Every structure is written in structure tokens, then in C-alpha cells.
Amino acid sequence: MSMPRRSRGLKKTLKQRDTTVTTNDQPPHFPDIGDLVARVRFSLEEGHIWLDDQRMLLMHSSALGVFRRELIEGLGEETARGLITRIGYNSGTRDAEMVRKLNRDQESIEGIYIGAQLHMLEGAVKVQPVAAEIDVGRGHFYGEFLWIGSAEGEEHVKLYGIGSEPACWMQIGYASGFASAFMGRPVLFRETECCAQGAAHCHIVGKPVDDWDDADHELRFLQADTLTSGLSISRTSSSFLADSTTTTNAQRLLNSRDVVGASAGFNAVCHMVRRVADTNTTVLFLGESGVGKEVLARSLHQISPRSAGPFVAINCAAIPDTLIESELFGVEKGAFTGAIQSRQGRFERASGGTLFLDEIGILSYTAQGKLLRALQEHVIERVGDSKERKIDVRVVAATNLDLRAEVKAGRFREDLFFRLNVFPIRVPPLRERREDIPIFMNYFLRKFNAQKNRSASGFTTRAVDAMLSYQWPGNIRELENFIERGVILAPENGAIDTIHLFSGGERIEGRPLSLKSDGSLATDGAMPTSESDQKSALDNFVRLKLSNLSDSVDYKSCKVIFDDIEDALVSQAVEKCGGNLSAAARLLGVSRPKLEYHFKKEKFLRSG
């Protein structure tokens, strides 16, 4: 049995901001997470367990073991490991979101330790830090931890005995997900030793994906079920994390804007696309603007038997009503003024390949009729021509409209709707797949750094925070635009900050912050609305203040008295309002008599 490699020749240092603390053999202090523990609520009547706003499950560890075995034996170890790792990744991302929401100090390594503690709170494993460094702005991360008594490892050993591979898949996914969401760039944790291999404890190391030079093996388990399975590993891993190292890869990625993502929602989409690709079935992509429907349609074409044929895309909304028919079906010489020569439409040009019709919902009624005929009978007629032309085209359509509602309103033909709706695929908006945001951030950062010959180092904590909190009404396209702007505006070799990303006016919802035009986060205009929200924000504020006090104040030598705090608050408010008591009372949110009472009491105490 090998000993855990505790330090592995590394100097055990804990870098907090600019100070480097040597820990010797003392494990570092974990921050107080009393506020997080207080957020675990058991609601027996409802049958709910909550960790903050996330519903949780209290599950038997042994049941998880059985579930793992079913997956391994039913799907094979590779697939099972991927699924389980990504479940963990999802959990880690959710927890990082919660930590961010609680407004903990995100510049320091403390946030990562909070993640470790949440992992402990959730019963996965005892975590002991060995070394950790973090610099969000520079994109630097290094984390080394010991895992003692891993639940997952124990269950694996129970069923399979000691083996040659690490087995804490869900947990390694959790660590990677938490750190990635925390850093705003993909971080990969690796288990260098595992109790399932006979080690006394598991030992994990985490670094940004770009800093690993042999990460392909693990990336396979983290990556979404990309459309490229079956191609080489380097191809698939680069499509997931945009971690291309060779120029050709980079070039191809920059050109093709490959599909990236790791979330469950995105996985489901990829699965459906792969299942339908080798058929000739008409596919309908549904989803908001900017979710990447065209990229998916293109990928579907590339993995279909028609990949050698052309991929022709047309955005129906971008072409005037009067021209759409001739664009789609072609035009015969003399059909109308200006038609001085015959030309092919998109259908004919897509012959033998795939035709992608974006924003199909706004197609005119006549064009809808012709499209229906093309789909049903595989023939088209050019405008101004009565000759039928046979076509061999697979149609993939997309819309952000509710087509059923359009049918009801009489704007869309019902028969065409049924013809198109054979295989609908809903692409979730970015706000429903937040775990993909760090991946996109990194992807577009690299893309625009290369394209614009810039060297932005990464994102500031504030920027990561804003990106992850933002609602993304424009989805991936909006995120791409933000990062393009960020890369241009960021200082050379510096980090992209909120001021570089947000042009102003965008609101970060779901938290008591809004963006001002200078890029700073402000609480005005977006204060918590409900009373309970206000109370919890205040609770957090007080907790933070108290924890700061408890770090710096020795209670025995310096008594902090409640009344002193009240006095300080009142006198500062009165000073700020130039001695106007009514204004000071308003500022403090108390009545004027109450403020007067405070002064009387103070006077009494002083004279007494």
C-alpha cells in the first residue's frame, strides 16, 4: 500500500492574495461556513431538503454504489465514468453558484475552501488542503488536496475490490465543476492516488485545463457527448474545451465555431442530433435566438451521410417577403422585372446535401405552401416556371417562435407544422445551462485573443461573477459579443473586467446588484425586493462584519458593545445629513421619535 503523496516535493504554500503563507504541517484553517450550514433546511411536511435554493436528496451511499455498478455493467466503464463524472461536475457548479451568490470573498483561496467544506457537508469525503494558489484575473489556479474516507471510493471497493484505476469519479467531477465555475475557466482535477487503488487516502491535483499537457484521458469523461464521437480524441477534447494546441486545430475551431458544452441539457441535445443524423428525417430546432441552432444544424450535416454534399443555410427573416420565394426555389428568366437570367434557388444549390431554414416561423403563407410541396413530393418549381424539378435535399429548420401558437393565430399552415415537427429538438437557453458558461468564456477568450492578436489573460473575479449571474437574453451570441468587446478593451496581458464586458444598461438579476455604466456593481436600483430577501441580505452583511471583527478583535481586551455600534451608526447618519434629524431618521429607516429616543438614552447613560 503506497503512502499518500502529501507534499510531492512541492513547497506547501497557501497563496492568499499577495501573501504566501507557509503551512508547515498544520492544515490551514477552513473559513467559518456557519451561514452555509444554516442554509440546509429539512422540510418534513413538504418532503423537501434544501441547501439554499437547491433541492437536495439524502441518498444511501450504498444505493449510489449499486447505481454505479448498474451503469458500469450496463453501459461499460467508459460511458458510466463519463456520466457519473458529469453528475459531479453539475453539483460542483451549483455549489459554486451558491457561494458566489452569498457574496463571499471571491478573490482569495477561501472560496475554494468553502467548496471543499460543502463537499464535506454533503457527506462525500473529508477534505484536507495540501497546497493551493489562486489568481482569478490571471487565470492561475493550483489546488492539491487529500481526500480521506471517500464515500464513492469505499462503495467502489465494496463491489469491485482494489483495482488499478482511481474510482472517485463523481467527486473529481465535483471538484472540477466547482473550480471551473469559480475561476470562470475550465479547471481539471485529477486523482493521482485513490483509496480504490489501495492508497490510504485519495490525492487530487487541480489545474486549468490548458496547464495539463496530458489531460485528454480525463477530458473525455468531462466532455459533453459531442457530435464528433468516433473521431480522434484530440478532436473531441478540443471541441469540448477549445483546448486545441495545434495550429490546424485552432484554425479549424476558429472557422467552424464548434459545438461546446458539458451540461445535461446540452448532452440531451447532442444525443438527439446524433440519433437522427444518419436518417433523412426533417429536423426542427426550437429555442431562443443565439442558442447556436445553426451550429447544431451544421454539425448534424457534418455527421450525416450527406456530409460530402453542400450545407446551405438561409435566414428567412433576413430576406424580404417579395424575394423569399425566388431565393428558396430559384427564378426563371423573365419571371418578373429584373429577372434577366435564370438562377438556382437554395433548394437546388443544396442538392445532395442539407438545407437549413432559420426563422422558418416568419415565412409567407405562399412560400409555406411551396415548402410543404417540396417536403412532401420532393419537387420544386422556380418562380415563373411551370417545370417541376426533382430535388434531393434534407431540410433542417429552426425557429424561436411557438409554432403551435402561430398555427392557432392563422399565421402558419397546420399541415406544414406537422410536416416539420417530426423530430423537434429544443435547445435550452444559456441561463438553463450555466455550467457551460465557463467553457464558453474560455473558448471565446482564446478565439478572440487569436483572431485579434491580443493577449487578455483571463477574467477578474468580478467579471466571472457578473458573467455567471447574468441572464443572457441573447444567449451564446450575446456572450460571444461580450467577450469580443472584452478582449479588445482589456489591458495588454491583463484580465478582462466587467467594465470591458458590459456596455452598460445590462442588468444582473437574481441578486441584489446591478451594473452601472462604468462597469461597477451597484446595489442601487436592484435592492432585494421581498422582505425575506432583504433580511437574508442583511444577515449576510452582519455575518460578514462579525466575522471580520472576530478576526481582528480580541474580545477579552476590547469589548464590542452593541450600543457602540448603534451610536456610531446614528452619529454618522446625523453628520451625513448636516444635523437634520428627520433626514437622518429617514436614512436609517427609523422614525424621528425613535431617533430622538436614542439621543435621550445616550444622554441619560452619559450623565448616569
Contact residues: Zn ion, CB under 5 A: 150, 153, 168, 194, 202
* Residue 525 Cβ vs Zn ion, minimum distance, rounded to whole Å: 48
Q: CB-wise, 168 or 296, nearer to Zn ion?
A: 168
Collapse the DSSP code of 35 into the 3-class scheme (helix H, G, I; strand E, B; otherwise coil) and give the result.
Answer: helix
Cβ 222 to Zn ion, closest distance in Å? 17
Residue in the block written with cell 471510493: 153
Say how far apart CA 181 and CA 225 lie, in whole Å. 20
CB of 265 vs Zn ion, minimal distance in Å: 28
Backbone angles phi, psi at 271, to 5 degrees: -60, -45
CA distances from 148 to 20, 88, 120, 201, 254 (A): 26, 18, 10, 5, 43
Least distance CB 255 / Zn ion (angstroms): 40
Transcribe 142-186 into DSSP letters.
EEEEEEES-HHHHHHHHHH-S-SS---HHHHHHHHHHHHHHHTS-
Q: How far is the CB of 205 from Zn ion (least distance, A)?
A: 13
Q: Choose between 153 and 292: whose C-beta lies nearer to Zn ion.
A: 153
Q: Coil, strand or helix: which one is 65?
A: helix
Whichever of 148 and 583 has its CB closer to Zn ion, that residue is 148
Q: Residue 190 or 370: which CB sits closer to Zn ion?
A: 190
Nearer to Zn ion, 153 or 290 (CB): 153
Instruction: Categorise residue 73: left if φ over 0, alpha if ψ from -120 to 50, beta otherwise.
Output: alpha
Q: How many CB atoms lie within 10 A of CB 505?
A: 9
Distance CA 197, CA 85 (A): 18
Q: CB-wise, 150 or 244, nearer to Zn ion? A: 150
Q: In this complex, which beta carbon is closest to Zn ion, that of residue 122 or of residue 385?
A: 122
Q: With 0-12 CB in 10 A as exposed, 13-18 as middle and 19+ as buried, what is 380?
A: buried
Query: In degrees, to the nearest 5, what angle opens at C-alpha 264 toward C-alphas 262 and 266?
Result: 65
How far is the C-alpha of 5 from the C-alpha of 421, rounded, in Å?
A: 57
- 325 three-state secondary structure: helix
Shortest CB 202 distance to Zn ion, Å: 3
Kindly state the DSSP code that residue 78 receives in the 8-state scheme. H
Nearer to Zn ion, 166 or 438 (CB): 166
CB of 193 or CB of 506, closer to Zn ion: 193
Least CB distance to Zn ion at residue 568 (A) = 51
Q: Give least dist CB 61 to Zn ion, A.
A: 14
CB of 541 to Zn ion, least distance (A): 39
- CA 496/CA 300 separation, integer angstroms: 34
- Residue 257, all three cell numbers: 465555431
